Chain A
Amino acid sequence: MTASSLYTGIIRFNELYHRRDRPVSVDAGLMLANNALHFADQAGQVRIAWDIGTGDELQAAAATGTTYTDILPKLPPFPIRLRPNGSTYAIRMRLGGYSTDGTSVTFRAVLGNVGTGRARLNDVEGNVADFTTTSTSNAWRDVNGGSGWTVLEYPASEVATVARQVITRSGDREMTSIALFELQVFVATVGATKARLSGLYAAEYWS
């Protein structure tokens, strides 16, 4: 991660100290700027947080796709924060799963604009990650192996927004553009019936 603030932490201040009858100094401005930047670095939201109890795994009903089969039902969409250049905040994700009998299974997570689904299945822009395992033990899996993480990103040129109604200050409605995304999980057709999905975690972060 790369901190964008000057101090990598907020600066405590007593807001009453800055009196209303004096010009705001650059020192005060730097303090406000530092805090705004640090809060923006920490504004990432947890979008998906699911871990099973006993017997709640999801699986592909049957191997149906030519290369990848859907694990249904699909997840709903979620809003995502955008950076100044229009690309998305990075998504730090983890996927939980295992193989029922030791057959190699591969889960593919695909981050895309809402409604794109399979259209993004073979993207090479950092929004697709494969998780492969032969383990019969339930555990969080990572592309990097072990207890690491997997990062998904979406380039600015590919971000598409959708129109949604929101409420104005006066209580009326107006249309605005929202970056609405979905994270879909597929499983490689070879071994699909042996794959069990047991957890998903996806959280934004500033990088």
Chain B
Amino acid sequence: MTVRPPPVRTALDTSGMLTGAALRGLQGQSIARLTNYLLADGWQLVPIYAPRTLIGRDSTVTFHFRIWPRYQTKLRWIYLVASSAEEGGSAIGLSINGDAQTEHTLLGSGSASTIVREYVVATRSSTETELTVEIESLLASDEILPSAVTIHWIGVAEAPRTELQTTSGVGSDKGTDGTTMVTSQPLMRANLEGAFVVLGDADTIVRRHVLNWARPVDSTNNGLFAVAFSSTSYVDLFALGLPVLGRQIFRGATTATLSGKIYGYATGGATFNVRLTSSENGSGGAVSFSSATPAWSSAMSLTVDCEDLSTDAGLQSGDWDLLNVEIQRTSGTGFLQLLSASAVA
């Protein structure tokens, strides 16, 4: 069975739900509609950011992101804003997660173009995984002058679902079918099966990617655009720190926990400590990193402010919490070439 979720958040009036009475069909349908909306609407996997990456002629670069997707996702949209310095224009090829089908898009010279690339999810999952975006710069003419394609902005969002399965086991959409709720008849557990399964688990239904920054590697796995760290004191990745607010899940909570990783490689046999930091709650625990080839670090956690629904701003104590990534060399004389940083609430 399938159900059509609403495309917008729906209202849910609890004023008529009186203790001691049975739950009515119309009330159950309201619960089903809102739950289905939450399951169907997509998450922003990569908040829009500026990688400021130049790609040379006939070159391929790969961005590595870490995502925590919804199981319900079947389609993702990758948005790029790119421009070509080539007089005759350029073509770029986009491949997602190494899929065989590379789509090519022409870029005229001069002003930047917005490119949208669809990615059909082959195997759906709700577990943490890597998303790679390969971009190839080609020459669209016989021009022999040096070319450059600049990637100005990147963002990745999940497409919504217009239909959900109403089964609730592992590997299903967990939608709730409101048409089974008959007026004047009591509702059984089966009528609201999907809602019972998902409405106790925040990670299934409302994750929030707060950071997904990446600079690419080239075809030989060199981080030409990596940010290099070599200081024996902690140094921040971002100049100001990114504003961050976690989800408030439980009543009275003032903080939330982020989970994050970095991607990069260490040169010269050096070892580094990497940690996430919060301007309001201090630093998270550091993880050691020493991989000589591009790899993801161990998971890091960080306590950050969560939203305060009782204030206009939603800020705890009225101040913004700012998220940063810090890196410190602990041994050796090389560099940490930082390529990606991801964190999710």
Contact = CB atoms under 8 A, between A and B. Distances in A.
Contacts of A53: 227, 237-239
24 contacts: A1-B309, A3-B310, A23-B22, A30-B14, A30-B19, A32-B196, A36-B31, A36-B38, A39-B38, A42-B248, A48-B47, A49-B211, A52-B50, A56-B50, A73-B81, A73-B153, A78-B155, A82-B8, A84-B8, A165-B118, A166-B162, A167-B75, A169-B2, A198-B240
B210 interface: yes
Interface in A115-173: 138-140, 147-149, 164-169, 171
For A4, A8, A15, A46, the residue with the greatest tally of chain B CB atoms inside 10 Å of its CB is A46
Contacts of A21: 188-189
Contacts of A79: 42, 44, 157, 160
B313 to A, nearest CB: 5
Interface residues of B, number: 105
Given A32-B195, A39-B202, A20 B208 contact: no
A6 B161 contact: no
A43 B8 CA distance: 12
Contacts of A166: 74-75, 159-162
A1 B239 contact: no
B8 A86 contact: yes
Interface string A1-21: 111101111101101001111
Interface of B: 2, 7-12, 14, 17-23, 27-28, 30-31, 34-35, 37-38, 41-44, 47-50, 52, 74-75, 79-81, 83, 111-112, 114, 118, 120, 152-155, 157, 159-165, 173, 186-192, 195-197, 199-200, 202, 205-206, 208-213, 227, 237-243, 245, 247-253, 307-315, 318-320
B7 A176 contact: yes
Contacts of B245: 203
For A19, A43, A76, A164, the residue with the greatest tally of chain B CB atoms inside 10 Å of its CB is A76
B92 to A, nearest CB: 15
B33 to A, nearest CB: 9
A14 B211 CA distance: 32
Query: 9 tightest A-B contacts by CB?
Result: A9-B251, A23-B186, A73-B112, A76-B79, A49-B47, A29-B23, A167-B74, A82-B8, A51-B238
Nearest to B49: A50
Contact of A82 (B7, B190, B251): B7
Contacts of A33: 12, 14, 17, 27, 30-31
B112 A72 contact: yes
A42 B307 contact: yes
B161 A19 contact: no
Chain A: number of interface residues, binned into ranges: 35 or more
A112 interface: no
A96 B242 CA distance: 10
Interface of A: 1-4, 6-10, 12-13, 15, 18-30, 32-37, 39-54, 56, 58, 72-79, 81-84, 86, 92, 94, 96, 138-140, 147-149, 164-169, 171, 174, 176-178, 198-199, 201, 203, 205
Given A30-B14, A49-B49, A76-B80, A83 B8 contact: yes
A8 B251 contact: yes
A94 B315 CA distance: 13
Contacts of B14: 6, 30, 33-34, 37
Main secondary structure of the interface of B (DSSP, over half): loop
B248 to A, nearest CB: 6
A41 B309 contact: yes
B41 A43 contact: yes
Contact of B23 (A9, A28, A51, A140): A28
Contacts of B202: 10, 39, 42
B246 to A, nearest CB: 9
Nearest to A48: B48
Contacts of B83: 73
Nearest to A175: B162
Nearest to B10: A84
B199 A36 contact: yes
B23 A76 contact: no
A64 to B, nearest CB: 13
B319 A147 contact: yes
A15 B229 CA distance: 48
Contacts of B161: 166-167, 169
A86 to B, nearest CB: 7
Given A18-B189, A42-B249, A58-B50, A2 B240 contact: no
B152 A73 contact: yes
B214 to A, nearest CB: 12
B187 A138 contact: no
A94 B81 CA distance: 21
